[in-house]
A and B are shown apart, each in its own frame.
Chain A
Amino acid sequence: MILNNAAVFRAEGIGKSYPGVRANDDVSFQVDAGQIHALLGENGAGKSTLVKMIYGLVRPDQGRMTLTGDLHQPADPKAARAAGVAMVFQHFSLFDALTVAENIALGMENPPPRRELAARITKVSHDFGLPLNPARRIVTLSAGERQRVEIIRCLLQNPRLLIMDEPTSVLTPQEAELLFATLRKLAAQGTAILYISHKLDEIRTHCDCATILRHGRVVDSCDPRAHSARELAAMMVGGEMREVDRSGRHAGNVLLSIRNLSQPAPNAEGTALKSVSLDLCAGQILGIGGVAGNGQEELLAALTGEIRSAAGSITLEGNDLSSLGPEPRRKAGLLTAPEDRLGHAAVPDFSLTENTLLTAGARKGLVNRGMIDHRAARTYAEAVIAGFDVRTPGPHTAARALSGGNLQKFVIGREVMQNPRVLVVNQPTWGVDAGAAAFVRQSLLDLARQGAGVIVISQDLDELLELSDQFCALNEGHLSEPLPTQGLTLDQIGLMLGGAHGMQEAAL
């Protein structure tokens, strides 16, 4: 490994304010050549703002940045790319209908002739162990493969600084390993890599250095390999992490049964459900793992009642719910919390009071013979705010004005406080800061302790291992047999998730 300690990128006293928010304050750090440098922090700590400034999307109010010694003040991403900064975003910007090569050509200033480009793509993908056929259409690629397209697009620019924004959130563990092998090779050639994540374990294993942000300021920088995940988390949130309390739960009778639930894909991007079966007992938490896009949304929609299914496929305590819509299912005791908080679990422009009416109308008596009892709705919203520590000026606040973590606490609280028989949650802590995530997880465990059944659909394996009694994996619409969570290893789980696409090629 070539390690020269020359700083590739240096930030000095960077500051950026938005109305009412100090997003970055006096941020200074440096990334050296050949270094994988982690940028660690909770949601809202200022990581995105910082990275956007480096990539020319936002301009800093104070401070200066240098790239290999030269002043770095890009007016736009094009200037940043010309200076040698490349970035792989969390959300891909690829055209599904075009091929890999066409997508890459679209992102270049002066694309070479098609054949030459294809040859360069093949060479780069070989050099870095990222198997990819330039003639494949994007729509046929897995999430991991799509990410490779984005990475290769960056590598073709020979960047001096590569920024990766939460790259492993869409990958299986095996695909993530493959990604890190690539990053290592790249670092060995002297590229500086700025790696944004809140997954502590992968940062501890793979990063050489970590800068920790909290409330827009650098609070610490350290060698993550020398610290435990718990210590890193404590630096992130500025205090000790709380343990979840799993005690006091007993498996009871079967509450919810799903039998041979099959469903065609609702649209072109959707996934068909293929004969999904499961049993959920009272007092139990069932974890459903899998990479997003493998039928999670569709399974949740079949459970909420947004999609009706064949008779007998979904029963709650003996009652067939398959042909019922969302409201009668709620009355029967099956409550749900979808992944997408803004626009699905809540109406962004409505106040929290109004958002209680979305699901709690019948069970909480907020609606009587069709007429809304606004006072009861406000009282319930206040109860959820108090009970779930939702930080907001009050129940009149619009849902969109809440931070992700606070809105998630509100959405989960709205369902939990209705005392469901069964609660199904999809990605309960996605994009939520560590403190709120711990709170949400504990509330799910408490709910199970009181005798309800809980299904947690999540991509976060650590979360599933922490919460669930049984684990099963959803892969291309198939649900695996549930296994007891205790004693499962990450490798076993990876295999249950269907392994990585293209793993065999990569192993060669």
Chain B
Amino acid sequence: MIQLVPRSTASTFWQIATPVMAVLATMIAGGILFAIMGHDPVAAIRTIFWDPLFGPAASYSRPQLLVKAAPLILIASGLAIGFRAGIWNIGAEGQYIIGGITGAAVALAAYPFEGMWIFPAMVIAGAAGGWAWGMIPALLRNWFGASEILVSLMLVYVAQRVAAWMAFGPMKNPEGYGFPGSRNLQQYPAASNPELIEGTGAHWGVVAAAVAVLVTWVLVSRHIRGFHIRAAGSAPRAARFAGVSPATLVAFSLGLSGALAGMAGLFEVSGPAGQITDNLGTGYGFTAIIVAFLGRLHPVGILLAGLLLALTYIGGELAQLTMQLPAATVQVFQGMLLFFLLGFDVLTRFRIQRRGK
């Protein structure tokens, strides 16, 4: 019989090895799935993980990597802070949508003025919108003990309705021939978030994601606030003894992750998406949860995990085009990845031992 024996300290080797094993297991399980569906598994895996970077159409798909990875990394960096403290913001998707709306609101109000201040003001407004949306579950938890998991998740659906209302109502493009959706910010230079270096896909959101990785790294490893966050996640009573107020920590974590998600939403609206539409949320806020865990809540891990998940997005689309794989492939892949990761996670805290008779 097989027995799980708890380890005295979590194994560093397995902390790094389990995400890699989870990726490999996802490839194998995905391959089996494709084989059952009647596709060549090797070709499918190759299309998803290899072709976007080195395949025949790589020159188109490679810049997409940064475009897709930037919001994931930006959001996951914020989520990881709260997750370390045991504060579960599941509603980054909603904060992302609201941040996109508040940021775009500044641009639409300023239209058609030109000015250097407009884009920075949009970034600030986007962050503020996400922050405010994140503060709703924070305050409800601090005042009434409401679960931030449920409240933040439910607010995603509220945010989606708000986006639809904006697209069909107040923010509808007056020159849009009655179609839903706001003005296209890509055509409004003062408010647009263009590709900074041609052919790389790098826009201001990529810069912000890089800064977020650096700042959260310093916060977690060098700053006393980061120390307190880790302490609160590991031993809440010890953190209180050290002087951490749980309520402050809840507000800080949900506020910070909300602000970063809001910024990600703004960069998307002003850049790749270009406008407010009723399907503003594309699931980045949920996928970022997988990114945060796959990256072990560590800034560098999140950077790598964000790039990998972005790859599955692009590869999934490619597989859809070239192999007629269903669109749900990407979601199945992401789901399997999280499933295997949580499964293999047992190995970091336990040893497997054969129990003899």
Contact = CB atoms under 8 A, between A and B. Distances in A.
A340 B234 CA distance: 15
A372 B9 contact: no
A336 B237 CA distance: 14
B235 A343 contact: yes
A287 B283 CA distance: 60
A495 B225 CA distance: 48
Contacts of B224: 357, 361, 367, 370-372
**What band does the interface of chain B fall in when counting residues whose beta carbon is under 8 Å from A?**
20 to 34
A372 B229 CA distance: 14
A305 B243 CA distance: 8
Contacts of B240: 306, 326
A325 interface: yes
Nearest to B219: A370
A350 B234 contact: yes
Contacts of B239: 347
Nearest to B10: A349
A343 B238 contact: yes
A359 B239 CA distance: 10
Interface in B191-228: 222-225, 227
Contacts of A398: 8-9
A440 B125 CA distance: 56
Given A349-B10, A400-B8, A326 B231 contact: no
A345 interface: yes
A305 B242 CA distance: 10
Interface in A27-81: none
A340 B8 contact: no
Contact of A359 (B8, B230, B234, B242): B242
B13 interface: no
Given A398-B9, A401-B9, A358 B238 contact: yes
Interface string B100-123: 000000000000000000000000
B291 to A, nearest CB: 24
A327 B237 CA distance: 15
A306 B241 contact: yes
A327 B245 CA distance: 11
Interface string A384-423: 0000000000000010110000000000000000000000
Given A347-B235, A370-B223, A370-B224, A400 B9 contact: yes
A227 interface: no
Interface in A153-170: none
A146 to B, nearest CB: 24
Interface in A246-286: none
A327 B238 CA distance: 13
- Highest count of chain A CB atoms <10 Å: which of B230, B238, B239: B238
Nearest to A349: B234
Nearest to A19: B5
A505 B9 CA distance: 51
A306 B9 CA distance: 28
Nearest to B231: A347
A451 interface: no
Contact of A371 (B223, B243, B245): B223
Contacts of A359: 241-242
Given A326-B241, A354-B227, A372 B222 contact: yes
A212 interface: no
In terms of DSSP, what is the predominant structure of the interface of chain B? helix
A439 to B, nearest CB: 23
Interface string B11-44: 0000000000000000000000000000000000
Contacts of B235: 342-344, 346-349
- Highest count of chain A CB atoms <10 Å: which of B10, B223, B231: B231
Nearest to A330: B243
A354 B10 CA distance: 16
Nearest to A368: B224
Contact of B9 (A340, A349, A354): A349
Contacts of A327: 242-243
A327 B222 CA distance: 19
A304 interface: yes
Contacts of B231: 347, 350, 358
A344 B227 contact: no
A134 interface: no
A367 B223 CA distance: 8
A338 to B, nearest CB: 6
Nearest to A304: B241
A344 B10 contact: no
Contacts of B9: 349, 398, 400-401
Interface string A178-201: 000000000000000000000000
Nearest to A348: B235
A346 B238 contact: yes
Interface string B235-264: 101111111010000000000000000000
Contacts of A349: 9-10, 234-235
Contact of B242 (A326, A342, A400, A401): A326
Given A344-B241, A347-B235, A349-B10, A357 B222 contact: no
- Which 9 pairs across A and B sit closest by C-beta, in order of nearness? A326-B243, A327-B243, A347-B235, A358-B242, A344-B237, A347-B238, A343-B235, A367-B224, A349-B234
Given A305-B243, A401-B8, 19 more contacts: A325-B245, A330-B243, A336-B241, A343-B235, A343-B238, A344-B235, A344-B237, A345-B238, A347-B231, A347-B234, A347-B239, A350-B230, A357-B242, A358-B231, A358-B241, A367-B224, A370-B224, A372-B227, A398-B9
5 contacts: A350-B234, A357-B242, A359-B241, A361-B224, A371-B224
